[in-house]
Amino acid sequence: MRRTGHPLGALLGASTVAFAAVTFAAVTFAAVTFAAVTFARVASANDGAGGASTPAIANPGFDADGTGVAAPSGWSSTGSDAADFTETGGYAGGFQLSHWSAEAFAVDTRQEVRGLSDGWYTLRARVRRSAGQNESFVALDCGRGSAARVHLPVAWPDQWLSVVVSARSSRGRCSVVLHTAGAAGEWSNFDEIELSPGAARLSLLGADVSSLNKSEDLGGEYFPSADSPECRCEEECEAQPALSILADGGINAVRLRVWVDPADGYHDRAELLRMARRAKRHGQAVLVDLHYSDFWADPGRQNKPAAWAELAAPELVQAVYDHTFDVCRGLLRQGTPPDIVQLGNELNSGMLWPDGHTWDPPNWENLGDYLAAGASAIAACSPSTRIMLHLANGGDSGLYQWWFDNITQQGVPFDIIGASFYPYWHGSLGDLQRNLNDVSARYGKDVVVVETAYPFTLDGVDAAPNLIGLPEQLAPGYAATPEGQAAFVRDVLAIVRAVPEGRGLGAFYWDATWTAVEGNGWDPTDPASGNSWENQALFDFEGRALPALSEFRR
Ligand SMILES: [Ca+2]
Ligand SMILES: [Ca+2]
């Protein structure tokens, strides 16, 4: 099984040297990292975790034998067994397991762990991988049909990521499998393999469907994926309600944008009530996205609703309360209380400019008053509804610390931190992981990636140029193809699932249903405005569900 000898010099030159400095920095923080990695919260919510043994993995950090060892203690390899070996470096302890070969390869490094109780176990690993043709994953195989894997996301080459995968043990033993199938010169690194009782699960597998009602009114049609049973025979494939297709794909939550008095009458309170009824019929949770504007609100614009333009700051507090309460009460009265309400949208620069701006000049007191008013309206209307505060730039932990330090000083009550994460604007998946892990621990809050998306093509179908249409805008490792979009969604979900203490609740795909339908452009004041997002929807140019949707099923 084991080969003897391998071109170690070539290996070191190929995949190790460039990362040495970063690896040493990571070693320094090892103690902190270990302290944060527990599963107490996850395990408490899990069936079968109580009293489970904490199993020991032999040589979990690949540090027992030094460098260049083809058969690290405790592990065995199958497949291209010259392609796995220890190297200096690693996330911690000085050494790591590497998968690499000068030729195309496929290798498994595995270890069977014995003495397990019946119940769920979660495997956590530190990983990183090259960005090319590299199919690599960490698997936990407990036999009897209980096996699961998590693919290695792609980040910057110097960024170690933490990933988790859970499976149910029923026969006392499970196998840890570290796998890479790569083209020549591709590589993966593994370190700090850890097995704990409990399961890591996402509760919110969501899609923003704010555009859907208007799309359907204007003739937009949606179809199941091309390989679904309904569509195998082309002529038998009939349009279905998009929410049905999304629900069948695993979407268990929807996000809906609310403007106060929009120019075209869409995305207002009445539409929210209608869409919430539809979503609840599919068993979907409802996240209400209050913009406190008549138009888009984001870091570049946070304009007051026209009806509020002349209000002084104290009157704005009342207006925020009244609008929030009115929207919430409407949902409550029709029997669809909101599950989550986010107060404002992408509040980096505050809201209700200029009164609630965070820097031009800053007025955290006003912003705190507005958000506290929204929170108290929700508490009065629907105490079980959870309150979210949402920023863009999900890879910018400095921004999040600055903003949430200030807003917590104002005493604003909230439950969940929401983050937008678009890799072409907001950094790598490593940046996202660092920020989510940091803010959830720093403020003791759950986190949700409340907006994310990725193109399935660089082509467009209407006249409006797409926001993402150039190869240089893409994230390394993720092609603008249906498969690349699916891999990106899969890996965002993996990052959220790995947030320590089970604080990563899930993610919402934005705007899943915004296909190119004439009249449904970005500007509610201009029916001729086009769609700059149709290559990032979860439905292709024919309206068929894309494979990324099925990533929400797990
Ligand atoms: Ca190590
Ligand atoms: Ca377009």
Instruction: Using the predicted structure, report yes or no on whether residue 406 has a pLDDT greater than 70.
Output: yes
- Asked, for residue 259, whether it belongs to a domain, the answer is yes
Average confidence (pLDDT) over 295-303? 98
Ligand 1 center to 21 CA (angstroms): 15
Q: Which helix (H) or strand (E) holds 493?
A: helix 482-497
Ligand 1 center to 450 CA (angstroms): 34
Q: Across the strands, what pairs with 166?
A: 122
Number of the ligand closest to the Cα of 89: 1
One-character DSSP codes across 230-284: GGSSGGG-----HHHHHHHHT--EEEEEE-SS-TTS-SSHHHHHHHHHHHHHTT-
Two structure tokens written together for 323 = 């609008």
Average confidence (pLDDT) over 162-184? 97
Residue among 192, 194, 216, 346 flagged as catalytic = 346
Distance set, CA 78 to CA 2, 152, 179, 232 (Å): 8, 19, 10, 38
CA dist., res. 390 & res. 82, Å (int): 48
Q: Which of 51-60, 321-330, 540-549 has the least mean pLDDT?
A: 51-60
Examine the domain organization and report whether 352 and 450 are in the same domain.
yes
Number of the ligand closest to the Cα of 465: 2
Instruction: Using the predicted structure, report yes or no on whether residue 122 has a pLDDT greater than 90.
Output: yes
Looking at residue 12, its pLDDT comes to 29
pLDDT classification of 260: cutoffs 50, 70, 90: very high
Examine the domain organization and report whether 361 and 425 are in the same domain.
yes
Looking at residue 71, its pLDDT comes to 86
Ligand 2 center to 250 CA (angstroms): 27
| Cis bond upstream, residue 471 (ω within 30) | no
Residue among 451, 483, 518, 534 flagged as catalytic = 451
Ligand 2 center to 420 CA (angstroms): 21
Looking at residue 51, its pLDDT comes to 57
Instruction: Using the predicted structure, report yes or no on whether residue 48 has a pLDDT greater than 60.
Output: no
| SS percent in the chain: helix, strand, coil, step 5 | 30, 25, 45
Number of the ligand closest to the Cα of 514: 2
DSSP class of residue 303 equals B
Examine the domain organization and report whether 75 and 182 are in the same domain.
yes
Examine the domain organization and report whether 402 and 535 are in the same domain.
yes
Residue 125 sits in a domain of what CATH number? 2.60.120.260
pLDDT classification of 43: cutoffs 50, 70, 90: very low
Looking at residue 554, its pLDDT comes to 63
Q: Encode pLDDT of 479-516 as tens digits.
A: 999 999 999 999 999 999 999 999 999 999 999 999 99
Q: Which of 4-13, 26-35, 68-77, 271-280 has the least mean pLDDT?
A: 26-35
| Count of CB atoms situated within 10 Å of the CB of 354 | 13
Q: Encode pLDDT of 348-396 as tens digits.
A: 999 999 999 999 999 999 999 999 999 999 999 999 999 999 999 999 9
Ligand 1 center to 194 CA (angstroms): 12
Examine the domain organization and report whether 168 and 262 are in the same domain.
no
Q: Which residue has the higher pLDDT, 146 or 150?
A: 150
Contacts of 179 (CB under 8 A, 6+ apart): 106, 107, 108, 109, 135, 136, 137, 138, 139, 149
pLDDT classification of 169: cutoffs 50, 70, 90: very high
Looking at residue 234, its pLDDT comes to 58
pLDDT classification of 114: cutoffs 50, 70, 90: very high
Instruction: Using the predicted structure, report yes or no on whether residue 162 has a pLDDT greater than 90.
Output: yes
- Asked, for residue 20, whether it belongs to a domain, the answer is yes
Average confidence (pLDDT) over 40-59? 57
- Asked, for residue 337, whether it belongs to a domain, the answer is yes
Q: Across the strands, what pairs with 507?
A: 205, 449
What mean pLDDT value characterizes the chain? 90
* Residue that finishes a domain, picked among 168, 197, 226: 197
Examine the domain organization and report whether 175 and 234 are in the same domain.
no
Instruction: Using the predicted structure, report yes or no on whether residue 14 has a pLDDT greater than 90.
Output: no
CA dist., res. 487 & res. 324, Å (int): 37
Q: Is 346 marked active-site?
A: yes
Instruction: Using the predicted structure, report yes or no on whether residue 307 has a pLDDT greater than 90.
Output: yes
Contacts of 38 (CB under 8 A, 6+ apart): 196, 500, 501
Structurally, the chain folds into a number of domains equal to 2
Q: Which of 64-73, 221-230, 242-251, 544-553 has the least mean pLDDT?
A: 221-230
- Asked, for residue 1, whether it belongs to a domain, the answer is no
Looking at residue 226, its pLDDT comes to 78
Q: Which residue has the higher pLDDT, 70 or 403?
A: 403
pLDDT classification of 24: cutoffs 50, 70, 90: very low
* Residue that finishes a domain, picked among 134, 163, 197: 197
Two structure tokens written together for 160 = 């170690």
155: containing domain: 8-197
Examine the domain organization and report whether 415 and 524 are in the same domain.
yes
Examine the domain organization and report whether 192 and 318 are in the same domain.
no
- Asked, for residue 398, whether it belongs to a domain, the answer is yes
- Asked, for residue 3, whether it belongs to a domain, the answer is no
Examine the domain organization and report whether 184 and 277 are in the same domain.
no
Instruction: Using the predicted structure, report yes or no on whether residue 6 has a pLDDT greater than 50.
Output: no
Examine the domain organization and report whether 287 and 146 are in the same domain.
no
Looking at residue 41, its pLDDT comes to 34
CA dist., res. 47 & res. 547, Å (int): 31
Average confidence (pLDDT) over 421-430? 97
Looking at residue 236, its pLDDT comes to 65
Looking at residue 18, its pLDDT comes to 28
Average confidence (pLDDT) over 395-417? 98
Instruction: Using the predicted structure, report yes or no on whether residue 254 has a pLDDT greater than 60.
Output: yes
- Strand, helix or coil for residue 224: coil
Residue 398 sits in a domain of what CATH number? 3.20.20.80
Looking at residue 237, its pLDDT comes to 80
- Asked, for residue 2, whether it belongs to a domain, the answer is no
Contacts of 200 (CB under 8 A, 6+ apart): 39, 42, 122, 164, 165, 166, 497, 498, 502
DSSP class of residue 416 equals E
Examine the domain organization and report whether 342 and 425 are in the same domain.
yes
Examine the domain organization and report whether 161 and 254 are in the same domain.
no
Q: Which residue has the higher pLDDT, 523 or 36?
A: 523
* Residue that finishes a domain, picked among 179, 197, 215: 197
- Asked, for residue 148, whether it belongs to a domain, the answer is yes
